Structure 1
């Protein structure tokens, strides 16, 4: 009977040791996740600003070069851009190729406004602009002011190029290199972004079947497409347009990126 009196204490000692070991293992795993996983990003201000772990890139086309960034903007950022833009919306204009001035045209029927230099100092706008610079690899100072647009039912923008064909707009910052187009809302029907020269299939553009690539707006997503090719020349395949909104309304924000500083 004597040996049996040591059995229970021994089992208790081993169990206690195993429990302590398990706690050390859990602590190690927690520390590993903290330094290499999302917990580390959540506590890193820079990572949070860039939405690391949320933004997911997807290459849609190599010619023209088009990248879709899922979850590029947060819901709060989308709603904020809409709220500051809404009181200042005016009929959208286009650039006149002969004079370089902005003029009204029936090829673009949306409403829009540009953020101001004061708006660019707002922390949430600064965060968005830095995120654009990091993901596009184009410096913040090479970007134009963000333009916020609203398309109502039957409003559209016919296919066009973002690069300039006049000498006036090249004086400040040079040619447009790329465009970051951010979607601030979903659209019930229509409102797709249309690239006639991308892809070889068919897609729906405002309810009409067309050849090319059509991207349906999704709140928070963004597309980066390049107006210049790898040879440094303007890329005619970057032709794009905004399909008519069939149902609901569409809000978007655009930032054009130049060869050199714009301010």
Structure 2
């Protein structure tokens, strides 16, 4: 590994190709074909993990879920973590990670949502769920989520595994170091720097029901992770001249409070302006 050092709080890479968009396929392990799931050992450096946690730690809020009918963000007992969203390309480290995700998945960078950072403390979990949408509201925001990259930013001492309860038969021998929750299907232990890629859609773009997955309760320690959801269509577009909404429903979404709840899509950043900047009154 090449050196990394901190300058004014930002991590800067020094002569390390692995810190750029280059990926090493020899570090990728196929976990399953039903669902299609792959584990990349050492996808992120320890310094990158620590940098992302530091950016998020003081901005966490109670995690929410999308309502299956309305598509609105709502509180739910099925998800008990805390989290926040980073902006696309927020700094050079985040931009580098996003470039690496695009290179690994062969999916366009512009199809990805902003990275969501999550913290799970003792007993906190995410019940089994799908990442593809059931409501038309969210499907209009770039189409279904086709793939998810889940990056582990810390080591949970025990528990906190990602499990696929509807996966094909799990042949992994699991000892007492695995929680009971993780023994219900193919599972991955959270290991700092590793990344899990799985697909929510079949190659023909139909929903894959075997992609049902959940985050097991943390039994000891604290679990930090970062999620990149990737859509079948661009999610947010490059800057355009003038101030206009790109979707006829922008006014309705803004009235529902989505400018604050979903700023990565609605408002965006200077590099990737959102689709509803006029309705959100930011231009």
Q: Mark yes or no: TM-score above 0.5.
A: yes
Query: 1:122 aligned to 91, 95, 99, which one?
Result: 91
Residue 176 of structure 1 corresponds to 145
How far off is 1:116 after superposition? 2.4
Unaligned runs of 5+ in 1: 1-37
Match of 1:191 in 2: 160
Q: State the alpha-carbon separation in 2 of the partners of residues 219 and 55 from structure 1.
A: 18
* Structure 2 residue runs without a partner (length 5+): 3-12, 237-283
Q: Counterpart of 2:67?
A: 96
Count of matched residue pairs:
222
Contact conserved, 2:19 with 2:96, CA < 8 A, in 1?
no
Q: Deviations over 1:120-141 (max 9, x none)?
A: 2410000000000010111110
Query: Larger helix proportion, structure 1 or 2?
Result: 1
TM-score, length basis structure 1: 0.79
Q: What is the root-mean-square deviation of aligned Cα atoms in Å?
A: 2.3
Matched, 1:73 2:37: no
Judged with a 3 Å threshold, the aligned counterparts in structure 2 of structure 1 residues 121 and 109 are, in CA distance, closer, same or farther, namely: closer
Counterpart for residue 101 of structure 2 = 132
2-side partners of 1:51 and 1:134: how far apart? 7
The Cα offsets for residues 139-197 of structure 1, whole Å up to 9 and x where unpaired, read as: 11000010000000000000000000000001121110000000000110000001012
How many Å separate the matches in 2 of 1:259 and 1:150? 27
Q: How far 1:99 sits from its partner (Å)?
A: 1.0
Q: Which residue of 1 aligns with 2:235?
A: 262
**Of the two, which has the highest radius of gyration?**
1
Report the counterpart of residue 128 of structure 2 in structure 1.
159
Change (3 A) 1:73 1:45: closer
d(CA) in 1 for partners of 2:193 and 2:200?
A: 23
Q: Distance in 2 between matches of 1:148 and 1:65?
A: 23
Asked if the contact 1:207–1:246 (Cα under 8 Å) also holds between the matched residues in 2, the reply is no
* Cα shift at 1:48: 4.1
- Pair 122,183 (structure 1): closer, same or farther in 2 beyond 3 Å: same
